[in-house]
Structure 1
Amino acid sequence: MAPLSHGSFTTCPDGHRPTATHRPYPYRVAAETPKPLKKSNSGKNSKSTTGAKGTKAPKKQKNPVDLGMPAPLPEVGLDFARAWVEFADPADEEQVFRCDLTWLTSRWGCIFGKGCHGIRPGRGESDGCCTLGAHYSDEEDEQRVASHAARLTPADWELFEHGTDAKGRIKLDGGITMFDEDGDRQTRRVDGACLFLNRPGFAGGAGCALHSLALREGKEPLETKPDVCWQLPVRRTYDWIDRPDDTRYLQVTIGEYDRRGWGPGGHDLHWWCTSSPEAHNGPDPVYVSYRPELTELMGPEGYAVLADLCAQRMASGSDRTHAPHPADGFDA
């Protein structure tokens, strides 16, 4: 697995969207997720690991094998025809949404605990995509997560003692937060995965403790989890587009977070769900199953337009005949 590297964020340092006037955004703004991965140096072009004379190079580590899970089915390629739609943001005349209908009408669904192979070999059943931990988009994101984590108990958070002080209070640095090799703040990793991840066999239930907290309290998981977690695998990016009449608009792209979204190291991931037929058997299309997340990313007015366009595509059958997602339609 390639180490994490610096990534470009889709917001300004002060947390506002990238506009010249820094007008407040009408809905939550978060950094592009997740933080891009560096490309692994393994392979023909990697440098020799032989040190001083007489020192043997370390043996290449074999990938662990998860004997409890079958091998992943082949993923589909990254380059295929996609159907896109553009429409003006009803809530902002300076903004245009560009949305990938192929992805948003696909049948992708999270299969964590139901066949997920994970981004690291041998850890799919336990980790899913939680192996790396979550980089906070900003201080507000970290504080929000901490405020919700404060309601967790040892009964529903397996690693409670790792994230709290002697009095059971949430601890940031050295508790729920660590610094990566670039000095960026993220959720702390314990035993090779995010400390909020309850491992299989835990009496309180496996999976993200913050996700479970939200469900118990009747909240949406996007309220309790780090921004990087609830956005995946939807990707939102920004681009300023110059028109021929010397005007410009902010293009907000809503699409699939495929392997390339992770950066060069994304190609080194053991498995990635958006390209896997095994994860494309959801009961609802993405635009329906991810309604809360898309509404948070686009605003309610923008989502309403998107949902109508997606529904039209599906009613016409073009989601199956015109640029369908190649991972759809597989009965695992």
Structure 2
Amino acid sequence: MTETPLDIPRAWAEVVDPAEPGQRLRLDLTWLTSRWRCIFGAGCPGIDAAEPDAGCCVLGAHFTDDDDVERVAAVVERLGPDEWQQHDEGRAEGWIVELEDDDAESGTARATRVVDGACIFLNRPGFPAGEGCALHRHALAEGLEPLTTKPDVCWQLPLRRTYRDVELPDGTSYLEVTITEYDRRAWGPGGHDLDWYCTGAPEAHTGAEPVYLSMRAELVELLGPQGYAVLVRLCEEHLAAVAALTGGAGPGGRPLLPLLVHPATRAAGG
């Protein structure tokens, strides 16, 4: 199925953050009401065709700050060889690397090591504890949300949160917090060279619930409980408007403006 183009029309909602009156939430309703779901281990061909079993883990996870590193480091200390395929390698050679980064305040950035073509925390098919991220599987085994054990970039993907200072004509300003789709561009120039990418692929838009429900824990962490409550209301109103326009027939009924339903969700029949 054809991947959705990057520059599709989108429906946005902008509201004052109920928890922070000095900032506004800018929410991509087209993405948040889509039926995207992670299909790792369920047909995901991976972003690198040479590593189809690695999903999007072929790149080391870049850490956002010291808190991100310290949180993951605490989890790594609890990982045993029965949970982590690269345990001995990680203990002997380390699991984190420093990278040159012109944008970083110190001139360097940190990321998880890449071993044998993928992140050091990736368990490969055939590993007794199961394939996939060792940090993710540890969270599930402990009854925790994976966002408490994984690097920020990993648990947020494919949500993208950005910030922008907006100056108004009267001399006042506010902080704009945007929640949208982490598309190919968000990976940087190399994102255009990925062999496959899930957010625009109809194959991955087969979720039982829309994103704003299936990624509730992540969105609450990104927006706070009050901000998430506003998001839910706006998404429900958006979906009700779509249903009214189609007479309840869904995207396969009357023609809709493309901004109302994510094209990949429509192509998947959702």
The TM-score, its normalising length taken from structure 2, stands at 0.89
- Displacement, 1:181? 5.0
**Which structure's residues are more often strand, by fraction?**
2
- AA aligned opposite 1:325: H
Q: Distance in 2 between matches of 1:226 and 1:219?
A: 14
Q: 2:73 aligned with 1:140, yes or no?
A: no
Q: Distance in 1 between matches of 2:161 and 2:219?
A: 10
Q: Distance in 2 between matches of 1:331 and 1:89?
A: 34
Query: Within 5 Å, which residues of 2 pair with 1:294-309?
Result: 294-309=219-234
Percent of aligned pairs sharing the same letter:
57
Please state whether the residue corresponding to 1:179 is helix, strand or coil: strand
- AA aligned opposite 2:9: A
- AA aligned opposite 1:135: H
- AA aligned opposite 2:175: L
Residues 117 and 331 (structure 1), Cα distance of their counterparts in 2 relative to 1, 3 Å cut: farther
Q: Distance in 1 between matches of 2:230 and 2:62?
A: 31
The count of residues paired between Structure 1 and Structure 2 equals 251
Contact persistence 2:200–2:264 (CA under 8 A): yes
Alignment-derived partner of residue 179 in structure 1: 98
Alignment-derived partner of residue 128 in structure 1: 55
- Residues 196-240 of structure 1 show CA distances to partners (whole Å, capped at 9, x for unaligned) of 000011111000000011111111000000011001111111111
Q: Distance in 2 between matches of 1:135 and 1:158?
A: 21
- Displacement, 1:315? 2.6
Determine which of 263, 266, 271 is the counterpart of 2:191: 266
The TM-score, its normalising length taken from structure 1, stands at 0.73
Query: Within 5 Å, which residues of 2 pair with 1:1-332?
Result: 73-124=1-52, 126-165=53-92, 174-182=93-101, 183-317=108-242, 320=251, 321-322=256-257, 323=259, 324-329=261-266, 330=268
Alignment-derived partner of residue 247 in structure 2: none
RMSD, aligned CA:
1.6
Structure 1 unmatched runs, 5+: 1-72, 166-173
Q: Distance in 1 between matches of 2:48 and 2:98?
A: 21
- AA aligned opposite 1:250: L
**Which structure's residues are more often helix, by fraction?**
2
Q: Distance in 2 between matches of 1:141 and 1:240?
A: 24
- Displacement, 1:121? 1.2
Q: Which one is further off, 84-93 or 262-271?
A: 262-271
Please state whether the residue corresponding to 1:78 is helix, strand or coil: coil
Contact persistence 2:51–2:117 (CA under 8 A): no
Structure 2 unmatched runs, 5+: 102-107, 244-249
Please state whether the residue corresponding to 2:82 is helix, strand or coil: coil
- AA aligned opposite 2:63: Y
